[in-house]
Amino acid sequence: MEKDNYPRHIEHVFNFTIPPGQGIERIDVYLTRVIPHATRNKVQEAIDAGVVLVNGKSVKNSRKILPGDCIECTILKPPPIVLVPEEIPLNIAHEDERVIVINKPAGMVVHPGFGNRYGTLVNALLYHLGIRENIPLELDEHQDENNEDEDLSIGFQTDSIRPGIVHRIDKDTSGLLVVAKDVAALSYLAKQFRDRTAEREYYALVWGIVKEDKGEVKTNIIRSHRDRKVFIATEKDIGKSAHTTYTVLERFDFATLLRLKLWTGRTHQIRVHCSSIGHPLISDAAYGGGVIAYSGIKTNALKSKAEKLLQIITRQALHAKTLGFSHPDNESKMTFDSVLPDDFLSAMEFCRK
């Protein structure tokens, strides 16, 4: 039986008594503030459903709380996550007693979340490392949303082994990442990513003809107010700084192959930066590349070819090709290079025809 990545939500009931001296505040604002990890939308949904009671009676969003009010609020939340070791094949580029370097396929999520409980890289790693018991995971349902850095060191442990994810790459991005096998290695590697001494180079196939042979993009990156799942580049002094450099490797009729180097590790950084300069990744629907995003196509034949390209590679055309770091045992420099996956190679060959 297939495991359920989206299990039924369970009820959580919260009770509050408003103390003397509490200032005037709307009930929805108050509950959003005092319930851990609650969102305004979830609180409003609960109020609209009549499951927020003040002194035993349902209320409206605009109801002001008063000292002595007894509030009962019922909110639906997903059940806790349990890490389940799963026998999933891994493409291991290197493994020793301290670290593992994985060549992750496109379509695999790195770390379990409330919508991806099974089939992740972590599930596969647990099984590979000999762990067979399920492990409860301390994770709130907004942890992923609140994390704006790709370089988030995530540990998961048992009594016998303590592996940790040093950095992440997107579900539909393929390529190399390193996993630490113990806490000391995790800390040592994570510092290299924070200090920007780790080496990371990506290959990307983008829409349009990039004119400059080399270039860089320096912006701040913030979460979009319109869609919390995506990010935008901004010149304003808000968000987090992001720095990417690129080199043109090959130009095609309506696309360009880039080699990009990350100097910072923000969520979706390359995808955001390529989109911000008018060259979104091929098939990256979230950032404008899910359709033909090049106005220079003048003939029906080229338009047909561009549409065909979207069918050849159906995920964002991005691959983490090169990874370099110092080993936690002896500080020796280790560099790994990976071959491009079949869908990426097919897309390139198609562009060359």
Q: Which helix (H) or strand (E) holds 347?
A: helix 342-352
Q: How far is the CA of 57 from the CAs of 25, 44, 48, 161, in angstroms?
A: 18, 16, 13, 51
Specify the CATH class of 200-352 in words.
alpha beta
Q: How does pLDDT run across 260-285, given as a tens digit for each residue?
A: 999 999 999 999 999 999 999 999 99
Q: Which residue has the higher pLDDT, 239 or 149?
A: 239
Spot the catalytic one: 170, 172, 182, 284. 170
144 φ, ψ (degrees, to nearest 5): -65, -40
Pick the CATH number of 10-77 from 2.40.37.10, 3.20.20.20, 3.10.290.10, 3.40.47.10: 3.10.290.10
Average pLDDT over residues 119-142: 80
The domain spans of the chain are: 10-77, 81-194, 200-352
Output the pTM of the full model: 0.79
Percent over 90 (pLDDT), the chain: 70
Pick the CATH number of 81-194 from 3.10.620.30, 3.40.50.20, 3.30.2350.10, 3.40.640.10: 3.30.2350.10
Q: What is the pLDDT of residue 226?
A: 83
Q: What is the pLDDT of residue 299?
A: 95
CA dihedral 66, 67, 72, 77 (to 10 degrees): 80
Nearest residue to 336 (alpha-carbon basis) of 100, 168, 176, 188: 176
Q: Which residue has the higher pLDDT, 41 or 238?
A: 238
Tell me if residue 4 is catalytic. no
Q: What is the pLDDT of residue 205?
A: 98
* Residue showing tokens 């959580």: 12
Q: Which of 161-165, 191-195, 306-310 is least confident?
A: 161-165
Q: Residue 8: pLDDT above 70? A: no
Distance of alpha carbon 351 from alpha carbon 353, whole angstroms: 6
